[in-house]
Structure 1
Amino acid sequence: MDIRTGSRGVHAELLSEMLEVALSAVSADRCLPAYLPPYPKGRRLVVAVGKAGAAMARVALRDAPPQTRAIILVPYGHGCALADLPSSAMLLEGGHPLPDQHGLEAAKMIREAVSELTEEDQLLALVSGGGSALLALPAEGLSLEDKRQLTEELLLCGATISQINCVRTHLSQVKGGRLAVLAHPAEVVTLAFSDVSGDDPALIASGPTVADRTTLQDARRVLERFAIPVPDHVRRILEDERHATPRPDAAAMTRAEAHIVARNHMALQAAGEIAASQGFMPVYLGDDLEGDSTELGIVHAALALHHRRKGGKWALLSGGETTVLVRNKVGKGGRNSEYALSLGLSLDGAAGISAIACDTDGIDGVGGHAGAIIDGSTLRRAKAEGISPAGMLRRNDSYGFFEALGDLVFTGPTRTTVNDFRVILIDDAA
């Protein structure tokens, strides 16, 4: 993993090492082999969807029998070398976070392939974050543009990924367990990298092969809560019980099982062990934190200052998935860099405190960065450059702030995804 940051601040090297170890702990090579099921009597169809799809498929297809078929659908730039895959595997790319025509065509191909399976066959679904946008097959009567506009509205309003996926699930032909229905009576085994708080497989990529527990009413409530205008033809779909998702007791679910193989806790634990080896006391704040990025930065700054007053060396680790209320649509950044900017602003240059905040998929919103690093010199250097941290935060331009200081973190696509990764190091001797 090539992690790049221009920061040379206090403990920047240690923070980068902790990120690298965390990403390795949730890689497909490390996590997937122990969960791969036995081959069926008939054929195995591998469908790998999401940001970790290519890496998961590469592991699952090692020494695969010749009759194994694989369709891999990943966001642009998240694939792998074709030489790493069997010649029978098909690697496709699609739009993320907004669905596009390539994702639509790939979803149709997956629907057709899954529908051909028989009782002796097996669908091995390798699912990870990003899969919901990629599997873009709108419900009948709904256009791709309808889904794009609604997805964009949900992304901008500050809705959580669970709320976004609840709506997308009920406007799809393949999400919410519908892919498992299409595969019936074949065996369905789902192995998932969790990028959702609580690690519910039904929520990851909108659960294409896992029974859905949300309802059409739940989807309508999300839209009402955020006052998102919905065209009449979309509203009719959300009021029509024929579009309800299959329940857990549906016949197609009797041969379906799902397992979480990588989760945020694993990444935090691995990073915490590195911190402990350097004399820091790990404190785990939770792997399922949600809420506004700016507000969480303020809360974590208070916790960091509390630990500094106690003295000694501390590592505050947290994960989950925060949200950003976008006030400036042309701003650049993401939830992790916005958190880092809020954290730095709230710490007000406190000595001996440094932090990193990154998205484990390597892409933090808009800008191509994974996140950012801060330390006690961040605000001082910004002032010397004539940059207003508060102004940049209000304009949703955390990317511009950290770019000017050389404190952005770049990893490129990591081909894994277990959501946010945050570490605050407190060292009263630094």
Structure 2
Amino acid sequence: MSDIFTDAGARALLREMFDAAIRAADPDHCVPHFLPAPPQDGRTIVIGAGKAAAKMARAVEAHWSGPLEGIVVTRYGHTVPTEKITVIEASHPVPDAAGVDASRRIRKLVSGLSEKDLVVCLISGGGSALLVDPLSPVTLPQKQDISRALLKSGANISEMNCVRRHLSAIKGGRLAAACYPARVVTLAISDVPGDDPLDIASGPTVADPTSCADALAILSRYGIDIPRHIRELLQSGESETVKPGDPRLARAEAILVATPQMALEAAAQVARGYGIAAHILGDAIEGEARDVGRVIGGIARQVVRYGQPFTVPCVMLSGGETTVTVRGNGRGGRNVEFLLSLAAVLNGEASVHAVAGDTDGIDGIEEIAGAIIAPDTLSRAKSLEISVTEALAQNDGHGFFERLGDSIVTGPTLTNVNDFRAVLVTGLTGETADR
């Protein structure tokens, strides 16, 4: 790698850290260690949903010492070849009929099991949209409309998933209840702040302490209009999920096989290998992406000027899931929105580079993982007559960074441990530097 104090070297280091974060959550690396022992007499059924589901299924097949069968559903373009487990592709982030069909096939597969049987459930980010079975009288078009509204509202992932669970026939513990009395072992790759299994794919195999009243309050908070019959369904409490203490979940357990923290630690190890101090600010940072950009930008400027709170050279790492309240008509996502805001705050600081990307390779709805900013980002934009202020106003991060040639495109990574951010500071320019 080039010297990190050059633009090329800084960019190379940032990309190496991003790649290390993704690699730490690769199903081939993280799934095999957590596989349960095969049942002595019963069947083994593999089910699952998420952007990593197909690759997780292949990892199970490669390390399983007995017969198995199953169905998993993943995003279009995220499949890998499997021999015994059927992989179905469906839409994300807005569900479609293929996801409904896959979900119902999964429920049918696990019906009528015995206590001798084992269900291995493979869950990863994206499963909320992929594992979809609207609870009657909710229709698929209505769930699609509500999903779109939630995605644009600025609601956080816990809030969105609370609503999803209470309009579903398969989320919020219902899938595990359908497997009863079989043993259920869920292997989950976390893409949510706090790593709560309830929020990974909306918790199809775990108990849900939230209520229909909570879902209604969230819809009201964000001004999301819903049909009268859906409101009445929630008000009646008839769509309540499976609650803690339900005996149908007594033989269900959930295991986290990869988390955002693991990915951040892998990136930190890369930086330290080059003699760069690595500081993890948090693995569960939430809030508006542009606000997070302003805060982290302020910290970076303090480092540049005064060597506080960290000495240079250093890298500040963070993860989590920010939100974007969509106001413009641009092409964007959480990570590029963060970077636009960060670049505006830094205003060309000479010794700061940064990367932000979604570890699934998709920031927003486009297959662009994220982007990199450098000290010359704003000056190059100005030469092309591009305004960072206008890009923020239009939520047009992808348009902005594509024109600069600074987008990161990985293709589907077949995993997902949420957003990854790294801000690299290589030198001092303020009072401390003058002493």
Shorter-chain TM-score range: over 0.9
- Offset at residue 168 of structure 1 (A): 0.4
Deviation per CA, 1:146-202, whole angstroms, max 9, x where unpaired? 100001000001111111110000000000000111110010111100111111111
Distance 1:429 1:249 in 2: 56
Judged with a 3 Å threshold, the aligned counterparts in structure 2 of structure 1 residues 181 and 389 are, in CA distance, closer, same or farther, namely: same
Query: Is 1:11 aligned to residue 7 of structure 2?
Result: no
Matched letter for residue 32 of structure 2: P
2:433 aligned partner: none
Judged with a 3 Å threshold, the aligned counterparts in structure 2 of structure 1 residues 227 and 239 are, in CA distance, closer, same or farther, namely: same
- Secondary structure, in 3 states, of the residue corresponding to 1:351? coil
Query: Is 1:49 aligned to residue 49 of structure 2?
Result: yes
2:420 aligned partner: 421
- Secondary structure, in 3 states, of the residue corresponding to 1:261? strand
Question: Which of 97, 101, 105 is matched with 1:105 structurally?
Answer: 101
Deviation per CA, 1:281-320, whole angstroms, max 9, x where unpaired? 1111100000000111011110001111215201000000
- Offset at residue 8 of structure 1 (A): 6.2
Is 1:51–1:417's contact at 8 Å kept on the other side of the alignment?
yes
Is 2:368–2:407's contact at 8 Å kept on the other side of the alignment?
yes
1:365 aligned partner: 364
Matched letter for residue 14 of structure 1: L
Query: Is 1:345 aligned to residue 344 of structure 2?
Result: yes
Aligned residues: 419
Question: Which of 142, 145, 160 is matched with 1:149 structurally?
Answer: 145
1:3 aligned partner: none
- Secondary structure, in 3 states, of the residue corresponding to 1:61? helix
Judged with a 3 Å threshold, the aligned counterparts in structure 2 of structure 1 residues 23 and 245 are, in CA distance, closer, same or farther, namely: same
Query: Is 1:167 aligned to residue 163 of structure 2?
Result: yes
Distance 1:367 1:63 in 2: 33
Is 2:27–2:55's contact at 8 Å kept on the other side of the alignment?
yes
1:195 aligned partner: 191
Query: Which stretch of the first structure deviates more once superposed, 58-67 or 378-387?
Result: 58-67
- Secondary structure, in 3 states, of the residue corresponding to 1:92? strand
Query: Is 1:117 aligned to residue 116 of structure 2?
Result: no
2:3 aligned partner: none
2:276 aligned partner: 280
Query: Is 1:398 aligned to residue 413 of structure 2?
Result: no
Query: Is 1:134 aligned to residue 130 of structure 2?
Result: yes
Query: Is 1:93 aligned to residue 89 of structure 2?
Result: yes
2:72 aligned partner: 72
Question: Which of 177, 183, 191 is matched with 2:179 structurally?
Answer: 183
1:4 aligned partner: none
Is 1:104–1:136's contact at 8 Å kept on the other side of the alignment?
yes
- Secondary structure, in 3 states, of the residue corresponding to 2:292? helix
1:270 aligned partner: 266
- Secondary structure, in 3 states, of the residue corresponding to 1:361? coil
2:60 aligned partner: 60
Distance 2:365 2:60 in 1: 31
Is 2:7–2:374's contact at 8 Å kept on the other side of the alignment?
no
Query: Is 1:227 aligned to residue 220 of structure 2?
Result: no
Matched letter for residue 90 of structure 1: T
- Secondary structure, in 3 states, of the residue corresponding to 1:110? helix
**Deviating runs (4+, > 2 A) in structure 1?**
7-10, 63-67
Percentage of identical aligned residues: 46
- Secondary structure, in 3 states, of the residue corresponding to 2:417? coil
1:214 aligned partner: 210
Is 1:362–1:370's contact at 8 Å kept on the other side of the alignment?
yes
Distance 2:67 2:60 in 1: 14
Deviation per CA, 1:25-51, whole angstroms, max 9, x where unpaired? 111111111110011130011012101
Deviation per CA, 1:79-113, whole angstroms, max 9, x where unpaired? 11x2xx22x32110001000001001111101101
2:432 aligned partner: none
1:331 aligned partner: 330
Distance 1:251 1:417 in 2: 31
What TM-score does the superposition give when structure 1 sets the normalisation length? 0.95
Is 1:10–1:354's contact at 8 Å kept on the other side of the alignment?
no
Question: Which of 236, 243, 250 is matched with 2:246 structurally?
Answer: 250
Matched letter for residue 114 of structure 1: V
- Offset at residue 66 of structure 1 (A): 6.3
